[in-house]
Amino acid sequence: MGRIGKAPVVIPSGVDINIQDAGLIYKISVKGPKGTLTQNFRKTIQIEKKDGTVVLTALNEEKATAALHGTYRVLINNMVKGVTNGFAKTLTWEGVGYRMQAKGKGLNIQMGFSHDVEFKEIPGIAFKLDNNILTIEGADKQLVGQVAANIRAIRGPEPYKGKGIRYSDEVIARKAGKAAK
């Protein structure tokens, strides 16, 4: 059995966790200063609140249960972190004529196509633009990561000049162009 699942999730002050027994699943909602997150968990793992912590206990020794034990603990911990501090991903872009502009709560993206790409507003996600840096912020770690991946997929970085959208900490392996004879 893994060690990650055995560690209790500490509930900080200002965060309220509600564990609801709904038949074959637990419905867990975490409410804090940054918002409310809810998620469903199968009952192969027992989830209970004890003394300001959330404790997870595996109900059997099956391999699938052991895999879910640590996963569920990390998901609940990320929910608690999200409603207290939030999560952020940073994207940068490079290229002549490439730009992003805020349009309402969404984005207008110009990446060398014959048309502008409109990225609609997503509830729970905030965009911050500063020169050629886009910061995506929100309480749900999975949603923040997926939105960042969707924006990056509009025009991923190319290996010759490095043009395109990339994560701020991403390193692009550059290739040499054609050699002149």
| Residue at a domain's end among 84, 103, 138 | 84
CB 33 within 8 A of CB 83: yes
| pLDDT higher than 60, residue 97 | yes
Percent of the chain with pLDDT over 90: 77
Considering the domain architecture, whether residues 26 and 76 belong to the same structural domain is answered as: yes
* Residues 16, 26: Cα–Cα separation, whole Å: 16
| Residue 18, domain CATH | 3.90.930.12
Q: What is the reported pTM?
A: 0.89
pLDDT tens, position by position, 145-179: 999 999 999 999 999 988 999 999 999 888 988 87
What does the CA dihedral 113, 159, 148, 75 come to, rounded to 10 degrees?
150
- Listed residues 30, 61, 84: the one ending a domain: 84
Domain assignment present for 177? no
Q: What are phi and psi of 153, to 5 degrees?
A: -70, -15
- 106 within some domain: yes
- pLDDT of 116 higher than 80: yes
Do 98 and 111 meet the contact criterion of CB atoms below 8 Å apart?
A: yes
pLDDT at 45 over 80: yes
74 lies in some domain: yes
Non-local (6+) Cβ contacts of 180 within 8 A are: none
For residue 61, being part of any structural domain is answered with yes
Whether 98 shows a pLDDT value over 60: the answer reads yes
**Structural domain boundaries, residue 50:** 4-84
Q: Please tell me the total count of domains within the chain.
A: 2
By C-alpha distance, which of 144, 149, 119, 146 is closest to 110? 119
Tokens read off for 66: 């052991």
